[in-house]
Amino acid sequence: MSVPTVVAVNLGSPGARAGLVPGDELLLVNGQAVRDIIQYRQLVDEAEVELLVRRGGLEHTLIIEKLAGGPLGVEVQSALFDQLRTCDNHCSFCFIYQLPPGLRPSLYDKDDDYRLSFLYGNFTTLTRFTEADLERVVTEGLSPLNVSIHATDPEVRAGLLRNRRGATSLRWLRALLDHGVEVHGQLVICPGFNDGPVLEDTLCSILDRYPELASVHAVPLGLSKFNKEAGLRVHTAVEAESVIDAVEAWQPMFLKALGRRVVFAADEYYLMAGRPFPAADVYEDFAQHENGVGMARVMELELTGAHTEPMGVASGFFAWTDGAPAEGYRAPRELPLGNACAPQGNEGGPWGNACAAEPGTTERAVRFRGRTTAPVAVLTGEYGAQVLGALLPSVLKNLGRDDVRILAVRNEFFGGNTAVAGLLVGSDLARVLADQPYGHRYLLPDVCLSNGRFLDGTSPTDLPRAVEIVRTDGIALRSALEMR
């Protein structure tokens, strides 16, 4: 078991006044060995915090007095200090099995930890959930949680997870709902396995057995070119339409019985089927737009100014592994790149190395010393390009701009049906940017970065053109387009 290690101390905070510095190890907090950031935050919320600190091999005790519930002002290195609850399922569609070799080791960590579900929105199958876990979730109010359901038929679910406990672990879902825990469910649809009649049975069972679920989202499996499962394949357009039809047929039944639609299909299905997205009000509270369900409508509301505050955090894939704040995806985030947004030695670009986050802020905005009147190119994945291609013309007309283009980046690194912005990597961006002119502004969504790196280990400083990192929402994009 590791211990919380200080990585940053806010100036003027109680922690700073007590003399804490980066590198300090917190062996005990209020006499307790801390197992995760959840317990840590609860302990340091006290009005008096006693820390047993190790620095340079020497141990000493600090007693810090502050306002109850007030921040200690100390950031620690990770979310978990005890052992990660690894996943013992062997789902054929798991994207981690489809990663190429040679990536940084943390990307291959396969978790099934309810704590990461609470902190980062990860999905847990509950196959490793225990009575003690249930007690902690309920007593400490660890809600909401995200649960991978996939199918409610015990045999089908066990087959999908390749784990016999998959047949019985949904009893924990029932227990969580019985104790009032907010739970969002996910169905990863695999053609020929849990679509068609199985999907119909699953939706029926959810209404019958789990009506308290806050939302349930059907999403397509993702296949990379490294997939080794011969039985898996991408959806056809007809199959995508079938999933949409099933979801939209059940929504009125949920609405009539519960007053909520509950079940929704991912935006990808509408793109694959070539069908228009549902109206914004159909998505109700956009419970999982960051998971690609209603994201297009959220982007529309933000781009057009109908929403003036971002509707949530777009945390990207593998967000919990590197660079994410230990407090979880709900916490404010710094721009991950600091002052290194431009490629080194780029004499032809107008930005030089002058792109930097505002010091001391939690915004991921970027300031430029350069010609903001330059033409703009928006970098995004192939799905994002389809969405923005339909939304931007009217927005640009209102802004009086005719010099903005969309650069759709095909994901050759992962291949398969990988087309979302969150999985863009530096090698593919470099391929596209190499043919683009110098002197233009290239806007890159921050969702594809973790701690300043792409999934292939490269960084924006490796790209052949300077890029401007923007927060992944319509408000930030519009703001960047208004810079002239």
Same fold across 6-76 and 95-293 = no
Residue 435: Cβ within 10 Å count: 9
Distances (CA, A) of 368 to 253, 280, 340, 467: 52, 35, 12, 11
Two structure tokens written together for 36 = 């995760």
Q: Which CATH class is domain 95-293?
A: alpha beta
Q: How long, in residues, is the chain?
A: 484
One digit per residue, pLDDT tens: the chain, 484 residues? 789 999 999 999 999 999 999 999 999 999 999 999 999 999 999 999 999 999 999 999 999 999 999 999 999 988 899 888 889 999 999 999 999 998 888 888 888 999 999 998 899 999 999 999 999 999 999 999 999 999 999 999 999 999 999 999 999 999 999 999 999 999 999 999 999 999 999 999 999 999 999 999 999 999 999 999 999 999 999 999 999 999 999 999 999 999 999 999 999 999 999 999 999 999 999 998 888 999 999 999 999 988 888 776 555 555 545 545 565 645 544 433 332 333 333 323 322 222 333 333 333 334 343 467 899 999 999 999 999 999 999 999 999 999 999 999 999 999 999 999 999 999 999 999 999 999 999 999 999 998 889 999 999 999 999 999 999 999 999 999 998 7
Two structure tokens written together for 70 = 């007030």
* Angle of CA points 303, 308, 312, to nearest 5°: 85
Nearest-angstrom CA–CA distance, 144 and 183? 6
The domain defined by 6-76 folds into Pdz3 Domain (2.30.42)
Q: What are the domain boundaries of the chain?
A: 6-76, 95-293, 324-484
CA trace torsion 132, 87, 190, 249 (10° rounding): 20
Q: Hunting for tokens 């000493």 — which residue is that?
A: 60
**Using the 8-state DSSP alphabet, how is residue 356 labeled?**
B
**Using the 8-state DSSP alphabet, how is residue 222 labeled?**
P
